[in-house]
Structure 1
Amino acid sequence: MVAPAAKRQAVAHLQATLGMSERRACMVVGADRKSMRYRSCRADDGDLRSRLRELAQQRRRFGYRRLHILLRRGGITINRKKTQRLYREEGLTVRRRRGRRRAIGARAPAPVLALPNQRWSLDFVHDQLATGRRFRVLNIVDDITRECLRAVVDTSISGRRVVREPADLVVERVAPKMIVSDNGTELTSNAVLSWSGEAKIEWHYIAPGRPMQNGYVESFNGRMRDELLNQTLFLTLGQARDIVAGWVEDYNTEYATPAAFAAGLALQVAAPLRAAGSYVPQPLAPPAQPRDNKPRSLVPAG
């Protein structure tokens, strides 16, 4: 027994069952008699706890840090450590899932400038309706701002459909310098190869069996799987499109704020700074160097 509350309970138990005096019970337990008469002055956190449980029920995969941001955004001024304590006392800890084995060697394509629309990543994520019919989601993510540019939901997405989505994004935004994807049949089709050549956009394919070389969109897919797909029962394809669109809007604007990060980068590259030459965009970190996995003996051979 270390906490004063536990010692108070032990003293009360000895007094009730064995008829000990308070002095004798405190001596046996090793508690200070002054702490027996202490009354907590802490304010009642019932409303705060209920609000925290409500947010945790709505965002089942959010930890205390993200819930703390939502509490403060809702007008509740609270210290982060108190949020962590209440989060732990309410038993809201999110169960951690086993991580995947990390790829060894170069995990990313060549570095690009830390500016929006420099490199996009594409990948698919799969799910099924309540009827058992499977559908796919084509996610397009900006690697710099982590913004989800497009999430296309359909039962079948061909190579021509894959080309149509980034082509529309190029008209709405700016053509990226590079697009990264895996070696799926839709992504290696003639339609993709011909469009990337005509648009003069470098299309980088990761090494087979190395999904972490496309880690940005893989991380986004994992979050979508964890926070949305595993938590929702889709009845129709139209409903799935509406729910996915709402979740993407929430992801871009509510918590993760890729849109706010992109706006900040846009301010950094304003025309006056670029004209004056006072701002030089920094490239992303270069790819990791291959590891030497050959063990070396402490004693030279021979």
Structure 2
Amino acid sequence: MLAALALGVKDLVGSTGFSGEMLLGLIAAGYAGTDFIEGFMEKVPLPGAGAGAVAGPGSTGSGVAVLPDQSGNGAAAKVAAQMEANLASQLNAQTSQLQADIASLKSTAAAGSPETSWALLTGPSAASLTPDLVARLFVPATPRANIRTHLPNVLAGLRSCDLIDRDMLLMALATIRAETEGFVPIDEFVSPYNTDQVAFDKYEPGTSTAVKLGNIEPGDGARFKGRGFIQLTGRDNYTRIGSQIGVDLVGNPTLANDSILAGRILAQFLANNEDPIRIALADGNLKVARRLVNGGSHGFDRFKDAYDKGLRLIPEGVEI
């Protein structure tokens, strides 16, 4: 109760109610409060068990020995005074600890991030690269089952290209968040960006986009539309990446949606641009890093959100 009041109840409850992270924080405060109450109950005699209710020499009430006043000049009062002093010291220590716990929780809430709260409350064990942890870089609607299914293939792809540090891991995950938020390799959707009258006709030979993509034959627009985790697009990219990973993507472009191959394609694309990506990340220039993959700023808000969350939640030296 004290923790809830200290944190501010109105700030704890959002449109969907308490977050799981904040509930865990309140539970932690509850344990501290319980220790405080139990310590108090153990030290304070129950009503009727004090110095005035002694059954006989050496008798006890609530586990506390009470001595009769044999000296006639306040021996029992001295014992009670000593007990009171000891109790006050213990209560002060427990109160200080509870105040420290509440201050820590309040500081966590003030950070304004459920992800930060979770990391502080759960400690280093929560930093292992699990599907549940990766899911915190995505939106609640992203199916956890998709992350459990495809994350191993994404990590295997990164390992195959020796991209095993946190920077490139976050680059890969943030790219997936920007390109396919459902964490599943998919076909590019028809949109005003790729279609005028017929699906993907803006990628067809004769257009400026086709020149950039290397599309030279009729039908290349739809044939080499975006696929996979990174939305690999265009004949040139299918040819180059396919050759690098040893798969005929030009002859079989739909293979780019195979989960294992999609993980390798993502990693290979990042590896092809590794040096400038690392420079951009080191400079904190996420827009440049995103442009090196996407060619523009499409999905940058999602990319940045996932990357920033990863910096808070995933530690340096994480094993991929």
Structure 1 and Structure 2 fold alike (TM over 0.5): no
TM-score when normalising by structure 1: 0.32
Greater percentage in helix: 2
Q: Tell me the TM-score normalised to structure 2 length.
A: 0.31
